[in-house]
Structure 1
Amino acid sequence: MTTAKDLFIIAMDPGQEPAVGQGDLSLALAGAELIDLLGAGDVTLDGVHIVPGTRSTPDDMLLGEAAAGLVQEAPYERVEDWLWRRGEGLAAAYQSAMEGDGELVPARSGRLSFGARRMEPADTPARRGAIDRWERKEPVLTALASVVGIGGGPSDAAPGLDEEAATVVVAAAHDAVMELEAVRQRRTIENSAFANLWRGP
């Protein structure tokens, strides 16, 4: 299993609170993919720019799509730009793929997924592996989960991350999630002001 799939399982697990927003999770999943590509040597970071390395073909379909979508020529893509581009609709893509693989099943509880149907992780070796990684407080998974508010909420630091590149990615994911939240708040204020205008004094 990839870090992104482990993160998705943790986010969807019925025992995890609070529920994670689709946009936030999509950004964090893109960060998880990038960290796995870094770990495999498929990319390196030059500051905040993603530099393609050896062009391997990951076994995981979604991670393969991520690798195929890398900008191959200079000027290389910034980590932040990658998160927004790759992250668009990514949580829904993971949900669809994992349903197809039998990793997600209809929920027995009332926990909602991103759509109208209620889904939860199936009791599979993949889920047990993700939970084990989570319970061991594996640094990368813990830091990415923190970005989306699981396990104490996001923080500016990523304690326990030894790799500088992983720290850069987690920090960029945190900033992107905060930017997304700012956009949500601005829209809420604008919508409220518009509604008040039509209601009048």
Structure 2
Amino acid sequence: MKSQERPSGERRGGTPMTTPRDLALLALDTGRDAVPAAGELSLALAAAEALDLLAAGAAFLDDTYRLVPAPGPDAADPLLGGAAAALVRERPYEPVGEWLWRRGRDLSSRYADAFASDGLLSRERRRLPLLRPGRTRLADSPELRAARRRRAEREPVLAALARALALPARLPEEAPPFAEDEAAVLAALDDAVAELRAERDRRTRRLEEAAADNRRRGY
């Protein structure tokens, strides 16, 4: 299965250019009232990593949509290199949907730490989720401007990832269809985000029902 080629390489200052980094920057760039929840963002970042690994030839999807590692070039970005190292390397390998949940655990915080180390993000000293309102400040940088340009150019994969998070993004009007492996990763992301939101709704309802029971009992 082949993936469409996407931008790769380094930006000014030696910062690696990757889809997950661009997605995280755009998520932070929305303003405190529109940022996605850390859980959804973590899943989307895991999907973006998978898509970049596929595009680089560091992995491929088999006929059952399991991520299979391949001898691709070493990633210049340490986070993407960590994603490659995290691939399951024994049969039957790992379904792409399971990869999103496993790799996505606390992934948004790892990108926040990387941004803080690179001087792209200011955070409070105590550890906080990436997108807690009022706790982060995104610096104007060549990396942010490049991510904005990529969004403005309606790069299809980045736009699809952004739309899964309800971020402002528009797909090209006459974009070619996604390659089969890209479509599989994006579909798995949609399913994972829907599952996460459904579970959050169930928890909210349980809390509301418990509070209502307590009120009826006079507590």
Superposition TM-score tier, normalisation by shorter sequence: 0.7 to 0.9
- TM-score scaled by length of structure 2: 0.81
Q: Any residues of structure 2 matched to 1:1-201 within 5 Å, and which? A: 1-14=17-30, 18-47=34-63, 48-105=65-122, 114-115=131-132, 118-151=135-168, 160-200=176-216
Letter in 2 for 1:33: E
- TM-score scaled by length of structure 1: 0.88
Distance 1:180 1:83 in 2: 12
- Deviation (angstroms), 1:16: 8.5
* Gap runs ≥5 in structure 1: 107-111, 154-158
- Deviation (angstroms), 1:164: 1.6
Deviations 1:63-111 (A, max 9, x none): 11111010001011000000000000000110111111111136xxxxx
Distance 1:180 1:40 in 2: 29
Residue 150 to residue 117, structure 1, CA distance change in 2 (3 Å): closer
Q: Which moved more, 1:144-153 or 1:133-142?
A: 144-153
Distance 2:135 2:177 in 1: 34
Aligned length: 192
Deviations 1:149-183 (A, max 9, x none): 11379xxxxx6553221111111111100000000
SS at match of 1:7: helix
SS at match of 2:92: coil
Letter in 1 for 2:104: G
Distance 2:32 2:130 in 1: 13
Letter in 1 for 2:203: R
- Deviation (angstroms), 1:199: 1.5
Distance 2:96 2:197 in 1: 19
Q: Which moved more, 1:86-95 or 1:113-122?
A: 113-122
Distance 1:102 1:40 in 2: 27
State whether residues 17 and 150 of structure 1, in contact with CA within 8 Å, keep that contact through their aligned partners in structure 2. no
Taking only aligned residues, the RMSD between alpha carbons, in angstroms, comes to 2.3
- Deviation (angstroms), 1:46: 0.9
Q: Provide the identity percentage.
A: 43
Residue 16 to residue 117, structure 1, CA distance change in 2 (3 Å): closer
